[in-house]
């Protein structure tokens, strides 16, 4: 079943959140579009702002609270303005189907692709294992969005279209790798192991010259990001095969950096810690808060005796975090 308490979630400039009565005008206007009428998953034949508000008060609220139907909005992350609709329906404990449409004025900005990625995250966070989608053969834009968001075509078969006709459809599926088994909550943050969807923000962060400057790496290319994420996916336990734990720092559901803790001396239970915080989220004590939580995990749960950190001497922001949470030894 779907867990709406994990919403909203955001990727770049797209937010996935419950549909609100404030969206009613834009939603009703979007449903007048020809392509939305033909391809969108619209249970009703005609919508007015008032009928949308009624739908939100009745079915939408009920579906979200029971976890059986999620009628959501895609919104511009900066303004929260409605840009499209995303629905998860036919929900079971393992699978749900996704339908989506973007308001004609907001098309071509990547909201549909990112919306599908966010829907995958939402479904995974709710414990589902698979998302499916169906689309008409002529709907090239939808097929493009689905494939770039990690869906695979599994068959082409006659089925009932969203508009209720029998037609040939492409059936798509996306398997959702199980999410982190656990997460660590601090006052303002959530720390969790990496998952397969972390490539995009990791690349954005680590390809920034101002971030790479004080690290051992050059700014990451797409290939490097892929390799690094593969390594990190395995770093889920200091006492496991990799001897390391790589955690994503999330604030309000948005990844803003990462912390890693790894064993340097097994016999003497010594470890090292490293962190990177998105400079756009700097100056608010997030890095210290995350590092403190991971230190507590290292000392209390993993029973480490000493944890050290090393950094470029010119990296004063990171040194300030270290000074705040660790004892500095020159």
Ligand X SMILES: CC(C)(COP(=O)(O)OP(=O)(O)OC[C@H]1O[C@@H](n2cnc3c(N)ncnc32)[C@H](O)[C@@H]1OP(=O)(O)O)[C@@H](O)C(=O)NCCC(=O)NCCS
Q: Is 281 exposed, middle or buried (0-12, 13-18, 19+ CB in 10 A)?
A: middle
Q: Does 141 bind ligand X (CB under 6 A)?
A: yes
Q: Does 101 bind ligand X (CB under 6 A)?
A: yes
Residue in 6, 20, 51, 148 binding ligand X, rule: CB under 6 A: 148
Number of residues that bind ligand X (CB under 6 A): 24
For the record, the structure tokens of 320 come out as 């300030």
Residue in 19, 87, 145, 277 binding ligand X, rule: CB under 6 A: 145
Name the CA dihedral angle for 295, 297, 302, 305, rounded to a multiple of 10 degrees. 20
Q: Does 140 bind ligand X (CB under 6 A)?
A: yes
Q: Does 112 bind ligand X (CB under 6 A)?
A: yes
**Which one, 101 or 286, has the nearer CB to ligand X?**
101
Residue in 28, 29, 35, 163 binding ligand X, rule: CB under 6 A: 35
The site map against ligand X for 36-65 (x = CB under 6 A) is x--xx-------------------------
Question: Rounded to an integer, what distance in angstroms lies between the CA atom of residue 211 and that of residue 202?
Answer: 11
3-state SS assignment for residue 29: helix
Q: Does 17 bind ligand X (CB under 6 A)?
A: no
Residue in 44, 45, 65, 108 binding ligand X, rule: CB under 6 A: 108
**Which one, 35 or 224, has the nearer CB to ligand X?**
35
Q: Does residue 189 contact residue 286 with C-beta atoms inside 8 Å?
A: yes
Question: Rounded to an integer, what distance in angstroms lies between the CA atom of residue 27 and that of residue 243?
Answer: 50
Within residues 194-223, the interface with ligand X by CB under 6 A covers: none
Residue in 15, 53, 111, 203 binding ligand X, rule: CB under 6 A: 111
**At closest approach, how far in Å is the CB of 283 from ligand X?**
33
Q: Does 72 bind ligand X (CB under 6 A)?
A: no
Q: Does 113 bind ligand X (CB under 6 A)?
A: yes
Give backbone dihedrals phi and psi of 91, rounded to 5 degrees, phi first. Answer: -85, 130
Element (H, E) at 325: helix 316-325
Q: Does residue 225 contact residue 238 with C-beta atoms inside 8 Å?
A: no
Nearest partner of 38 among 157, 135, 128, judged by Cα:
135
Question: Rounded to an integer, what distance in angstroms lies between the CA atom of residue 129 and that of residue 330?
Answer: 49
Q: Does 16 bind ligand X (CB under 6 A)?
A: no
**Which one, 107 or 208, has the nearer CB to ligand X?**
107
Question: Rounded to an integer, what distance in angstroms lies between the CA atom of residue 78 and that of residue 93?
Answer: 33
Of the ranges 32-40, 217-225, 262-270, 310-318, which one interacts with ligand X (CB under 6 A)?
Answer: 32-40
For the record, the structure tokens of 52 come out as 């949308």
For the record, the structure tokens of 263 come out as 């064993």
Of the ranges 42-50, 107-115, 196-204, 251-259, which one interacts with ligand X (CB under 6 A)?
Answer: 107-115
**Which one, 68 or 139, has the nearer CB to ligand X?**
139
Element (H, E) at 71: strand 70-76
Q: Does residue 16 contact residue 119 with C-beta atoms inside 8 Å?
A: yes
Q: Does 102 bind ligand X (CB under 6 A)?
A: yes
**At closest approach, how far in Å is the CB of 99 from ligand X?**
6
Q: Residue 188: beta bridge partners?
A: none
Q: Does 169 bind ligand X (CB under 6 A)?
A: no
**Which one, 28 or 35, has the nearer CB to ligand X?**
35
Residue in 10, 20, 130, 139 binding ligand X, rule: CB under 6 A: 139
Question: Rounded to an integer, what distance in angstroms lies between the CA atom of residue 320 and that of residue 35?
Answer: 54
Question: Rounded to an integer, what distance in angstroms lies between the CA atom of residue 193 and that of residue 317?
Answer: 24
Binding stretches for ligand X (CB under 6 A): 35-36, 39-40, 99-102, 107-113, 133, 135, 139-142, 144-145, 148
């Amino acid at each position: 079943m779907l867990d709406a308490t994990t919403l909203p979630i955001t990727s770049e400039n797209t937010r996935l959140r419950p549909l609100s009565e404030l969206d009613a005008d834009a939603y009703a206007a979007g449903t007048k579009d020809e392509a939305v009428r033909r391809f969108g998953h619209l249970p009703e034949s005609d919508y007015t702002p008032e009928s949308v508000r009624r739908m939100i008060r009745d079915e939408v609220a009920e579906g979200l609270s029971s976890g059986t139907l999620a009628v959501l909005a895609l919104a511009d992350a900066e303004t929260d303005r409605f840009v499209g609709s995303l629905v998860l329906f036919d929900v079971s404990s393992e699978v749900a189907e996704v339908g989506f449409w973007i308001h004609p004025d907001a098309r071509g900005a990547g909201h549909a692709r990112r919306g599908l990625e966010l829907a995958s995250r939402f479904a995974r966070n709710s414990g589902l294992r698979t998302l499916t989608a169906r689309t008409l053969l002529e709907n090239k834009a939808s097929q493009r969005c689905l494939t770039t968001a990690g869906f695979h075509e599994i068959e082409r078969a006659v089925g009932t279209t969203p508009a209720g006709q029998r037609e040939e459809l492409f059936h798509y599926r996306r398997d959702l790798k199980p999410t982190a088994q656990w997460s660590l909550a601090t006052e303002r943050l959530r720390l969790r192991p990496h998952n397969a969807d972390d490539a995009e923000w990791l690349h954005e962060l680590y390809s920034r010259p101002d971030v790479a400057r004080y690290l051992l790496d050059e700014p990451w290319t797409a290939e490097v990001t892929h390799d690094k994420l593969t390594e990190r996916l395995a770093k889920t336990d200091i006492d496991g095969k990799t001897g390391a734990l790589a955690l994503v720092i999330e604030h309000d559901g948005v990844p803003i950096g990462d912390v890693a803790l790894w064993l340097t001396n097994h016999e003497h239970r010594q470890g090292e810690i490293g962190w990177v915080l998105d400079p756009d989220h700097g100056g608010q004590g997030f890095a210290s808060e995350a590092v403190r939580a991971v230190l507590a995990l290292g000392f209390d749960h993993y029973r480490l005796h000493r944890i050290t950190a090393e950094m470029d001497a010119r990296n004063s922001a990171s040194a300030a975090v270290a000074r705040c949470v660790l004892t500095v030894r020159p």
